[in-house]
Amino acid sequence: MNNTQSGNSFSSSKKKNYYFPLILITSLFFFWGFIHNLDPILIKHLRSAFQLNHFQASLVDSSVFAAYFLLAIPAGMIIQKYGYKTGILVGLFFFAAGCFLFVPAANTISYPFFLGALFVLSCGLAILETAANPYITILGDPEKATQRLNFAQSFNGLAASIAPIVGGIFILSEETKITARTCRTRSGSEISLYSS
C-alpha cells in the first residue's frame, strides 16, 4: 500500500512540474497567432506609407510564407540534433531579432528593410511552430497529448480575435495621423491620391 501511495504522489508531483512549461508553450501559440493576424493590418499600413501597388504589398505575405518554406526542414534538423528546448530558444532568438529590426526599418523608412525584418521574424515563428507543436505533446500524460495540443492551438483562435482590435488601435490609428501630416506637406494634386 505504501508503494502505491508513493507512486501516486510521485506521478502527481511529476504532473505539477509540467504546468509552467505548458503555460509558456501555450503562450507561444498565442503570440504567433497574434503576429500572423497583424499581417493584413500591416499590409494596409505599409501600402499607404510607401505608396505600394498590389504586387509590392503582396510581398509582405510572401516574405512570411517564404520563411516557413525555407526554414521548416532546417528547424526539424535543429530539433533533431539539439532538442525541442534549443529549437524553441533559436526560434525565440530569430523572433526577437526580427522584432528589433523593425526599429531601424522604421528609422530608415525602407520597405525592403521592413520585408527583411518580417522575414527574420517569420523564420523565428517557423522554428517555434516546428518545435512547439510536438514538444507540447510530450509534456505530460501521453494519453492526453492530443488534448494538450488542441487546447494550446485554441489560443491561436483567441489571438485571431484580439490581434485585429489591437492592430486597429495601435497601427491604423497612427496611419491617419501620418496621412494627415503627409497631406499638409504635399501639393493639391498629390492630396487627391489620399482622399480617393
Kindly report, residue by residue over 135-188, the tens digit of the pLDDT: 999 988 889 999 999 999 999 889 999 988 888 888 766 555 554 454 445 444
Q: Is residue 51 in a domain?
A: yes
- 168 Cβ contact list (under 8 Å, min separation 6): 41
Domain CATH number, residue 31: 1.20.1250.20
Question: Domain range holding 186?
Answer: 20-195
Entry pTM: 0.76
Give yes or no for a contact between 115 and 52, defined as CB atoms under 8 angstroms apart.
no
Q: Is residue 11 in a domain?
A: no
Total domain count for the chain?
A: 1
Kindly report, residue by residue over 125-144, the tens digit of the pLDDT: 999 999 999 999 998 888 99
